[in-house]
């Protein structure tokens, strides 16, 4: 009798959860950005969230939970209730590369997160402060050669993409510099514009506007071609530097989130990415359309696993 009741209760619970998933969403959704306000991931989230909200019929509220290079907010989402009402808008740092950096990870993104989809794959920009007097990549590299650790890079903290980028640049060039961690790229860029740090390597949404507004000087961009918004700024390859790092930003939910909910979120993301208003804002920020094969939750799952292996090899931790 007891077993029969338990089975009945279990069936009722599963039926209720399935019904809730089909009705999803019935309340606002909390979108956690694991960095402080003002950085690229935050900027992209605030562009995409309203467009997703229109498709879902509920508000999508962006909340910044910064710290530890994005790991604090990412872990918080991984431990949230798997009902689709707390989701992550992160990037490849805390969602993948951190696994190659830290021995004390409290979550494994491959097991703790349910991929929804990639939002953007964004080029990087090396910008220097106006106070530095540097105006091109060659001059910046020469300063690194002569001043070494006296040249500093503002970053969003160990493990964040704005930390990985100068790490990779220094590794590829064999030069030295000092990395200064902040709670996010936003504060680092504020200090870049104030002349408190020498350089920042971050994604286009933050550093293209800073250059165009004469708040900092862009000296190189990643990728195969120059950016339409910065036609006078050469690629790293043009400057003879082997640095080809782009950053994917993506949405995920806690593992265990119902498939129906993941599908609804994925549909909303695709609707947002094809929204003319979103595309126009992305174009303004030099965020290119996603390449073929980078749409959907399966593409994100593949990308997470790839980055963990890739950076493990780069950093010698595989």
pTM beyond 0.85, yes or no: no
* pLDDT at 160 (0 to 100): 83
Q: What distance lies between CA 94 and its chain's CA centroid? A: 8
Phi, psi of 205 (to 5 degrees): -60, -25
> Strand (E) positions, 76-196?
86-91, 113-128, 152-155, 178-181
Question: Which residue's entry shows tokens 């964004």?
Answer: 122
Collect the ranges in the chain with pLDDT lower than 70.
1-20, 316-318
Query: Which of 27, 40, 153 has its CA nearest to residue 90?
Result: 40
Distance CA 74, CA 110 (A): 12
**H or E stretch at 163:** helix 161-173
**What tokens does 11 get?**
């069936």
* Cα→Cα distances 58→9, 49, 62, 236, 262, Å: 31, 10, 13, 43, 15
Distance CA 39, CA 186 (A): 4
**What tokens does 255 get?**
């593992």
* pLDDT at 22 (0 to 100): 77
Specify whether the CB–CB gap between 38 and 190 falls below 8 A: yes
Domains, the chain, in order of start with CATH, read: 29-121+248-315 (3.40.190.150), 123-239 (3.40.190.10)
């Amino acid at each position: 009798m007891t077993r029969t009741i338990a089975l009945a209760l279990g069936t009722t619970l599963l039926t209720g959860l399935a019904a809730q998933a089909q009705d999803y969403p019935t309340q606002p959704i909390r979108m956690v950005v694991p960095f402080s306000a003002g950085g690229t991931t935050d900027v992209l989230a605030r562009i995409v969230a309203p467009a997703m909200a229109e498709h879902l019929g509920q508000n999508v509220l962006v909340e910044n939970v910064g710290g530890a290079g994005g790991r604090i907010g990412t872990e918080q989402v991984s431990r949230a209730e798997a009902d689709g009402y707390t989701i992550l808008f992160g990037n490849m740092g805390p969602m993948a590369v951190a696994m190659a950096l830290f021995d004390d990870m409290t979550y494994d993104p491959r097991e703790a997160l349910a991929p929804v989809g990639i939002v953007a794959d964004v080029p990087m920009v090396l910008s220097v402060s106006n106070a530095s007097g540097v105006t091109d990549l060659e001059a910046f590299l020469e300063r690194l050669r002569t001043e070494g650790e006296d040249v500093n890079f503002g970053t969003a903290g160990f493990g964040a993409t704005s930390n990985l980028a100068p790490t990779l640049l220094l590794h590829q060039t064999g030069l030295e510099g000092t990395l200064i961690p902040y709670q996010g790229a936003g504060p680092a860029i504020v200090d870049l514009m104030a002349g408190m740090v020498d350089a920042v390597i971050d994604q286009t949404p933050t550093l293209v506007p800073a250059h165009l507004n004469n708040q900092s000087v862009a000296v190189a961009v990643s990728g195969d071609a120059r950016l339409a918004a910065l036609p006078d700024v050469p690629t790293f390859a043009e400057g003879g530097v082997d640095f080809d790092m782009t950053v994917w930003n993506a949405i995920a939910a806690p593992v265990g989130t119902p498939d129906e909910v993941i599908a609804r979120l994925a549909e909303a993301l695709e609707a947002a990415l094809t929204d003319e208003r979103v595309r126009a804002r992305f174009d303004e920020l030099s965020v290119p359309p996603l390449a073929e094969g980078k749409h959907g939750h399966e593409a994100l799952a593949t990308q997470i696993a790839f980055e963990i292996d890739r950076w493990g090899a780069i950093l010698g931790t595989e």
